[in-house]
């Protein structure tokens, strides 16, 4: 099954647009977990078991694993294998924001799809469509392009005016008109920019799916995101939460993560109905 179909089926099965970001951070792990042989994998396993009926996707960010070197990368691979073995209906988004020239992107694609076993990846737009064809050619995988990022400084380049419109709009249009020939493109649109999200939704129509980071710690407002980003069927979003869920508590962390994920899932669903 390709990524988009797997995602749609997970949306339905779990009745959830919530994605949990698996971004462990050694200093913030419970002491018992810090002492284990594979702390990130141990931590993730418990988070996954506690939330697998509440999410539409998991999104590990490669950076947190890389910071621990080769053993971290191994724990990332183990984490993804664990999801695939135990919850094969939940797609895995490897958030690695890569972007190089063509023959190098082939190597990054191997890492993501062959070694890690990801169903989708995030990528950079800066080098253009020609450079990322190596990713786009994986027709069954989701290729999620950074259009409007969630950070305060996103506007430095993304808001520059080109041909009477903002640069992020120009990027979104190119993806819609040119990059998406295999129908496997999605966009990153930060929760912290609901006005920009509204414009992008209008331009993209109902079919394009947005990955939405930036809720919680980063300050994005859920209600605003749903108003701005949902398509006319009340769907089309993968709403990510990382730290707010996985670090909800140091004691009974898995239970606390479940409670927070359930709260977010329900808050999203209530508002999807009432819009």
Binding string to a second copy for residues 36 to 55, with x set by CB under 8 A, is what? --------------------
Reference 75, options 88, 60, 87; nearest CA is 60
User: Least CB distance from residue 107 to a second copy, whole Å?
Assistant: 4
DSSP letters, 133-157, are HHHHT-TTSEEEEEEE-SSGGGHHH
* DSSP-H helix ranges across 39-178: 39-51, 62-66, 69-86, 102-109, 129-136, 155-158, 167-174
Contact positions with a second copy (CB under 8 A) in 232-251: none
Which sign, positive or negative, has the C-alpha torsion 45, 47, 50, 53? negative
Binding string to a second copy for residues 67 to 106, with x set by CB under 8 A, is what? xxxxx-xx--x-------------------xxxxxx-xx-
**Which one, 36 or 157, has the nearer CB to a second copy?**
157
Residue 188's H or E segment, with its range, is strand 185-189
Reference 136, options 147, 146, 144; nearest CA is 144
Contact flag: residue 6 with a second copy (CB under 8 A): no
**Which one, 12 or 178, has the nearer CB to a second copy?**
178
Contact flag: residue 154 with a second copy (CB under 8 A): yes
Which sign, positive or negative, has the C-alpha torsion 218, 53, 235, 270? negative
Is 97 annotated as catalytic?
Answer: yes
Q: Which of 131, 184, 240, 241 binds a second copy (CB under 8 A)?
A: 131
Reference 66, options 101, 95, 91, 100; nearest CA is 95
Which residue in this structure is represented by tokens 């506007």?
155
Contact flag: residue 126 with a second copy (CB under 8 A): yes
User: Least CB distance from residue 6 to a second copy, whole Å?
Assistant: 23
- List the catalytic residues: 97
Question: Where do contacts with a second copy occur on this chain (CB under 8 A)?
Answer: 23, 25, 61, 63-64, 66-71, 73-74, 77, 97-102, 104-105, 107-108, 110-111, 114-116, 124-131, 146, 149-158, 160-163, 167, 170-171, 174, 213, 218
């Amino acid at each position: 099954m390709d990524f988009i179909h797997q995602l749609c089926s997970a949306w339905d099965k779990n009745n959830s647009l919530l994605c949990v970001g698996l971004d462990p951070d050694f200093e913030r792990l419970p002491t018992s977990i810090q002492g284990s042989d594979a702390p990130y994998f141990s931590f993730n396993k418990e988070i996954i078991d506690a939330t697998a009926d509440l999410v539409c996707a998991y999104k590990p960010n490669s950076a947190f694993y890389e910071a621990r070197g080769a053993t971290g990368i191994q724990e990332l691979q183990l984490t993804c294998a664990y999801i695939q073995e135990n919850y094969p209906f939940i797609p895995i988004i490897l958030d690695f924001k890569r972007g190089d020239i063509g023959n190098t992107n082939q190597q990054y694609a191997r890492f993501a799809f062959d070694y890690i076993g990801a169903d989708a990846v995030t990528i950079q737009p800066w080098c253009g469509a020609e450079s990322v064809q190596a990713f786009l050619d994986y027709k069954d995988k989701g290729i999620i392009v950074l259009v409007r990022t969630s950070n305060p400084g996103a506007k430095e380049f993304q808001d520059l005016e080109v041909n009477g419109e903002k640069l992020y709009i120009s990027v979104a249009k190119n993806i819609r008109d040119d990059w998406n020939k295999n129908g496997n493109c999605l966009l990153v649109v930060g929760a912290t920019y609901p006005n920009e999200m509204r414009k992008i939704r209008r331009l993209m129509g109902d079919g394009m799916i947005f990955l939405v980071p930036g809720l919680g710690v980063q300050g994005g407002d859920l209600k605003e995101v749903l108003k701005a980003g949902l398509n006319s069927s009340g769907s089309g979003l993968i709403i990510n939460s990382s730290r707010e869920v996985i670090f909800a508590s140091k004691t009974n962390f898995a239970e606390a993560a479940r409670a927070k994920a359930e709260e977010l899932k329900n808050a999203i669903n209530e508002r999807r109905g009432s819009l």
